[in-house]
Amino acid sequence: GIQVEQSPPDLILQEGANSTLRCNFSDSVNNLQWFHQNPWGQLINLFYIPSGTKQNGRLSATTVATERYSLLYISSSQTTDSGVYFCASGTYKYIFGTGTRLKVLA
Amino acid sequence: DGGITQSPKYLFRKEGQNVTLSCEQNLNHDAMYWYRQDPGQGLRLIYYSQIVNDFQKGDIAEGYSVSREKKESFPLTVTSAQKNPTAFYLCASSIGQHSNQPQHFGDGTRLSIL
């Protein structure tokens, strides 16, 4: 089955800094989502992005399906961005990466 | 509001006891999923159902059972055969297997052993 690798595993930023999170996939991408898991465990859907680029406020994402990777950009980070970011892909059953744990310092 | 409701938020299980986690959706989605998350890990698929009265095992189905008698409901039973049930359980739904559509998640149930 598909393998999903996320990098970096951990990231500490000063408030206001920018960052890029990456997902690599071992097989072709059908569905692809980015999620933010907050400290209460809620999984918040950030982007559904099997290909192309999308932006939502300070967040944007790009998926290059032919090269089997996706990037999540966070600009002007805020303390509320802290948490774990997951990417997931699959046709009808998702495989999740192990996540990037982000801590934004005030 | 349309969404996915999981209950209870917290659940405690005694040794040898079966417990059932509830998942209800009013999104009119055909497909539903159960995932397990262990501390510091990603989510792993337990079971999924693409249509009423049909479901398939995911990657870690041993010790779990499900039913899909209604489109809006997909309860998960953690049986006594599951020797390490302490985890965070998340339910999700999507429009259907034949559409490339996103999955929507509930807020989860935390299960602990007494």
Exposed/middle/buried for B80, CB within 10 Å: 0-12, 13-18, 19+?
A: middle
The answer to whether the beta carbons of residues A35 and A29 sit under 8 Å apart is no
In the prediction, which pLDDT does A93 show? 79
Cβ contacts of B18 within 8 Å, gap of 6 or more: B77, B78, B79, B80
Confidence of residue B1 (pLDDT cuts 50, 70, 90): low
Average pLDDT over residues B106-111: 96
Residue with tokens 């990417």: A87
- The full length of chain B comes to 114
Query: Interior CA angle at B24 toward B94 and A3, to 5°?
Result: 40
In the prediction, which pLDDT does A7 show? 97
Confidence of residue B87 (pLDDT cuts 50, 70, 90): very high
Exposed/middle/buried for B112, CB within 10 Å: 0-12, 13-18, 19+?
A: exposed
- Would the CB atoms of A94 and B58 count as touching at under 8 Å? no
A3 touches chain B (CB under 8 A): no
In the prediction, which pLDDT does B13 show? 87
**Using a CB-CB distance cutoff of 8 angstroms, which residues of chain A are in contact with residue B58?**
93
User: Which of A30, A35, A99 comes nearest B100 by C-beta?
Assistant: A30
- Would the CB atoms of B104 and A45 count as touching at under 8 Å? yes
Q: Three-state secondary structure along A28-96?
A: CCCEEEEEEECCCCCEEEEEECCCEEEEECCEEEEEEHHHCEEEEEECCCCHHHCEEEEEEEECCCCEE
Which one of B11, B100, B104, B112 makes the best mutation probe of the A interface by having the most chain A beta carbons within 10 Å?
A: B100
In the prediction, which pLDDT does B99 show? 61
> Residue A76 phi/psi, 5° resolution?
45, 60
In the prediction, which pLDDT does B107 show? 96
As given in the structure block, the two tokens for residue A70 are 């996706």
Q: What is the spatial distance between Cα A36 and Cα A21, in angstroms, rounded to a whole number?
A: 12
pLDDT of B2 > 90? The answer is no
Q: What is the spatial distance between Cα A36 and Cα B38, in angstroms, rounded to a whole number?
A: 16
The tens digit of pLDDT for each residue in B48-60 reads: 999 999 999 999 9
In the prediction, which pLDDT does A27 show? 85
Around Cβ B45, how many Cβ atoms within 10 Å? 21
Please tell me the distance in Å from B60's CA to the nearest CA on chain A.
12
In the prediction, which pLDDT does B98 show? 65
Q: Which residue numbers in chain A have pLDDT < 70?
A: none
Confidence of residue B114 (pLDDT cuts 50, 70, 90): confident
In the prediction, which pLDDT does A30 show? 78
